[in-house]
Amino acid sequence: MRDSDLIPNRDFLITPAFWLAQGELGRIPLGLSPAENRSVNEKLRTSEEQEPLNPKATDKEQSRESDMWENDNVRSKSGTLASSSEDKQLPKDQSRTVLNEKAFTNEIRRTTPDINWDYAVIQRLDQNTLSTRLVPFNLGRALNGGAQNPDNQVLLSGDVITIFSQIDLKVPEQKRTKFVRLEGEFLASGVYEVSQGETLKQLVRRVGGLTPSAYLFGSEFTRESARLIQQARLDEIVSEFELNVERQGSSKSENVLSSEEALALKDRIETQRHLAAKLRELKATGRIVLGIKPAETAAESLPDLVLEDGDRFVVPYRPATVNVVGAVYNDNSFVYEHNRSFNYYLHRAGGGTRNADRRHSIVVRADGSVVSGTQVASWFSGGLESLRLLPGDTIVVPEKIDQTTFLKGLKDWSQVIAQFGLGAAAVITLTR
């Protein structure tokens, strides 16, 4: 008996769990938790097993009604659940689960990990030494070849064959199946499988390119591996910041001479703890700044970035607003006007409040990059106040805080936001 006798073809490696998961995709709406999926599925199964749709109907009529039941519960093209006008007449135990339209989402995902066809192993007990031996072989060649194929191993009694997925043992990058999402202003947005070494520019060119409304400068490219690294580093910085707050509070409390000073110190520490709690809410996005210039509109200006599985590239249409958030009197979005400066939009927002820290204001560009006052400080440039804004930019005016402690843990706002690709969403979390 050989490997190919135990596994006659590749279909034998498809587990029953895979088919159950595939079947539930057409039966249970997406967007529910696993527990909700099981609950709805169990209710449907129980109602069908316990009572026929029409107890007085003949077998032929019941079969027809059963078909109608199944057809009524298929997903329509618009992504909603088709329902019959007779739903209200059904008994309570046969009533269909009515779900919000938002629960239905079409998502391309793997229901099972890809198999590692290059490696499998036979675990064998040596009868002479009673020790365990490992006999590795190429699974793909073993199933494709005949009895003379050296990878098609002869099996012994008690052998255990272990087959690995590409998650169990990491395979080379070029052998992994990669899915990449293209969303927004593409001629053919969708989820695409990319080949070995294919770059972002090549993929966009392959799907037909961009629409005339595409705002390439404001595009967002996110990567899961980058997100994990960014989140780990962000967590480290926040932990260090929290430690500095507690350490400083402890050391300063020893030098307090009056109740007024103690109260002021307590308020300052509470404020810093509140800031640390807000920082804990931040989640890295994995965004990678592509360095595209504002005037570039063609797909040829995209970088030759080799794609990874799970990458997502979103190209929006050209926005018509500039956002102003933080310590200003009118926290709002304003219509973009060509060649207008930082000061112009800040003035439209009513200017900075009494607690505004104008010196540490920043601009979050539409491409995810950050511009601070120190980056544009010059005798000739006029500084951040004279910076010309672009569609989709966000002005951030922070409130005054204890700069000494804050800079110890985080250096400054611009470094944190630029380093972790948090963007305007993170800015709003910090400033609200």
pLDDT one digit per residue (tens) for the chain, 432 residues: 888 888 888 888 888 877 887 777 666 555 555 566 666 666 655 554 555 444 444 554 444 444 444 444 444 333 333 343 444 444 444 444 444 444 455 667 666 778 888 889 999 998 888 889 999 998 888 888 777 788 888 888 889 999 988 888 887 777 778 899 999 999 999 999 998 889 999 999 999 999 999 999 999 999 998 999 988 888 888 888 888 878 877 777 777 767 777 777 777 788 778 878 887 888 888 888 888 998 888 888 999 999 988 899 999 999 999 999 888 999 899 999 999 999 999 999 999 998 888 888 889 899 888 888 777 765 556 688 888 999 999 999 888 765 444 444 444 444 445 444 455 445 444 444
Cα separation, 369 vs 215, in Å, equals: 15
The reported pTM is 0.65
Domains of the chain: 3-11+110-171 (no CATH), 31-103 (no CATH), 228-285+319-431 (3.10.560.10)
Query: What pLDDT score does 123 carry?
Result: 92
Task: Find out whether 76 and 82 touch, Cβ atoms under 8 Å.
Answer: yes
Query: What pLDDT score does 109 carry?
Result: 66
Q: Compute the radius of gyration of the chain from its Cα atoms.
A: 30
- Here the tokens at position 293 are 């210039």
Question: Which of 25, 28, 63, 62 shows the shortest CA–CA distance to 45?
Answer: 28
Alpha-carbon separation of residue 230 from 104, 177, 272, 306, 365 (angstroms): 31, 24, 23, 19, 19
Task: Find out whether 345 and 364 touch, Cβ atoms under 8 Å.
Answer: no
Query: What pLDDT score does 24 carry?
Result: 72
How do beta strands 190-194 and 220-222 pair? unpaired
Query: What pLDDT score does 31 carry?
Result: 54
